[in-house]
Structures are given as structure tokens and as C-alpha cells.
Structure 1
């Protein structure tokens, strides 16, 4: 698997699984009806932030991540990231590769911490993955997320020193 910078030409491949995941309303705090152009504007980051894709040996896009500064000013030493894995390629280590890549990116860019602001507590696979890479739950906002089938559930703030 190769992780490379996302290009504008990648968007038509990213959009279908981006839309599927966001429209399901189970894991991200994005509007479920986000339009294609707005979604692209939200997803693609400008330097020094990054948007990347994970591709296989056939150049098939398996997943994507956006990595960015989480705070400004005196909190500018904290990075964040968001990940999307094409459901057709889940269970193949794509998420782990993207998370590990983003941790290394943040460390190389001089950040001291990574923080995920809103990890839905029912997203147990993501939580387990993050914890296996050294992230900890720093707190939970009870009923901070309205899950489409489970009702109001908590949002974890997770962090990891770099």
C-alpha cells in the first residue's frame, strides 16, 4: 500500500465512499446531506495541512485522510486528522496505515500532540484502532452525537503525545 498526496483527479473516486459514509450519519459530525462540491472543499486541505490517499498496487484508492492543525495560537502545537476507508476495502489495514502515517506526519511537522475532537463512542472499531496506536480517551461529551439508530450517544475526545 502506498500513501500519497491526494490530487483533484482523485475526488471522483473519493466522493462515492465519502458520500456513503457521511450520509449514513454514524461516524462523522458532517452534515449528512453535504453536496459534492462542498464536501470536496471540506476534505481537501491546503499546506501546511495535507490530504492523502492510500492506494494499492493497481493504484485503486482504498481510503483517504486529511491532516491539519487542530488549534490556532497557543494551541497550534496540536494536530488532528480524519480518516475515511472505502467500505469495499475495510478490514485490510487501510485505516491503520492512514493513522500511522498521520502520526508520523504530525511528528515530522513538529506537533507535540494529536487530538481527535469527536470520535463517536459507538464507533468501536475506530476507537480500538486508535487505542492500539497509543491514543487515549481524554473525555466524553455525553449525548454529543445523534446516531441515526442508537439515539444520542457520547463523543470522545482522544489524544496522543508525539
Structure 2
């Protein structure tokens, strides 16, 4: 990963969004919405009963995997931030952005899809806080991720397991240039819809 902070112009939520690389010490800011999404069992092939420590290990993985935080226009200070009960983080001033509480809106992870001869293809996963949905945060994260994947030298970005029932995600990925390159029939057991297809999606870089 080449840059530690960035701000897409305009932002997708009606104002500036701030992105920065996260570390394991940021897990308390990610866990509340990450856990809510995983526990629902309707989008990710993760164990809905996964606990705090196992979730942190899965999300952060190992180098060269990188995890990003997106907040509402103010960088959540790494190592200096303090978690608040409402999911906000207090940051120290002096980084050129507004001081005060910065709300974490989402997080994504990016790394090689496979090791060795397959490591030139990247893969990513995205989580958006429930309170931030419908504001274009997911789109902003995917666009930011594509830029980071190019900068890291990946030749493509592949999603291995997109539940066909996740209509918003499928439409977003298609709109941003991904294509469906394979389908696992009935590969995902949705808690309400039963067995639905899993899609393999790819974006050349």
C-alpha cells in the first residue's frame, strides 16, 4: 500500500471523506459494525458466531494485506484515538483537518487473492456501518480500493464469493466495471432466502 491517508474530492456522503490505513489497535472502532454485519449471516461467508479476537485476526490478516478506515472528513488518529460508545473517535488536532469527533463510516481490506503465482491478483472486502448506508460510502470505498490496488501493482481485483442475494453490492460492482466470471450454484445459505448462488467477480487493472 503506497499511501497512508487520502481524501476523495467531494466525498460520496455530501462532504469530504477521509481514508487512512488502519492497524489492529483500531479494531474497537471497526468491530461494532463488522460484528453486526457478520452476525446477520446474509452477506459474508464468515462464521456468524465469530468472536472479537478471531474477527480481528481474519480482518487484518498478515502483510501485505492492508486495512483502511473511512471517516466523515476528519482523519481518525491512529494510536491517539479513543473509542466512544456511539462509534465515534476523538482525534488530536494538528493533522490539517478539522478537530473533534470523527465518525468511522466503514472499513475495507485489500490484499493478494492467492499466494505465490496468484499474488498478482488482488481481493478485497468491504464493510459499511449501518448508520452510514445509503450515502455512497460503499461506492467511495470500492473506488478508493481500485486506486490502491493499481498503486500496489495488482493486475486485477477478484471477489471470490459475492452472494447473488446481495443485490446492492452486485449492482455496485457491475456499475464500477466488474464482471461475473463464474457462479457457484446454491453456494451461499442465506438465512431467509435459502440456498442462493455465489458469484465470482473480476475487474482488470
Same fold (TM over 0.5): yes
For 1:63 and 1:138, locate their aligned partners in 2 and report how far apart those are by CA, in whole Å: 27
Q: Structure 2: which 5+ runs fail to align?
A: 1-16, 74-100
Alignment pair present for 1:142 and 2:180: no
Aligned counterpart in structure 2 of residue 48 of structure 1, from 55, 58, 64: 64
Q: Structure 1: which 5+ runs fail to align?
A: none
For 2:147 and 2:39, locate their aligned partners in 1 and report how far apart those are by CA, in whole Å: 30
Q: How far has the Cα of 1:71 moved from its partner?
A: 1.2
Q: Could you say which residue in structure 2 is the equivalent of 1:119?
A: 162
Alignment pair present for 1:85 and 2:128: yes
Q: How far has the Cα of 1:146 moved from its partner?
A: 0.4
Structure 1 contact 45–67 (Cα < 8 Å) conserved: no
Aligned counterpart in structure 2 of residue 24 of structure 1, from 40, 50, 71: 40
131-140 vs 44-53, which moves further:
44-53
Q: Could you say which residue in structure 2 is the equivalent of 1:39?
A: 55
Q: How far has the Cα of 1:46 moved from its partner?
A: 3.5
Q: How far has the Cα of 1:97 moved from its partner?
A: 1.1
For 1:74 and 1:96, locate their aligned partners in 2 and report how far apart those are by CA, in whole Å: 30
Q: What does 1:68-79 correspond to in 2, within 5 Å?
A: 68-79=111-122
96-105 vs 40-49, which moves further:
40-49
Q: How far has the Cα of 1:73 moved from its partner?
A: 2.1
Question: Following TM superposition, where does structure 1 have runs of at least 4 consecutive aligned residues deviating by more than 2 angstroms?
Answer: 7-10, 45-48
Q: How far has the Cα of 1:8 moved from its partner?
A: 3.1
Q: How far has the Cα of 1:9 moved from its partner?
A: 3.5
Q: TM-score, normalised by structure 1?
A: 0.96
Alignment pair present for 1:107 and 2:154: no
Q: How many residues in Structure 1 have an aligned counterpart in Structure 2?
A: 162
Structure with greater helix percent: 1
Cα distance per residue 1:75-110 (max 9 Å; x no partner): 111000000000110011111111111111111111
Cα distance change, pair 2–45 in 1 and its aligned pair in 2 (3 A): farther
Alignment pair present for 1:97 and 2:113: no
Structure 1 contact 68–81 (Cα < 8 Å) conserved: yes
RMSD: 1.1
State which structure, 1 or 2, has the greater radius of gyration over its C-alpha atoms. 2
For 2:136 and 2:22, locate their aligned partners in 1 and report how far apart those are by CA, in whole Å: 19
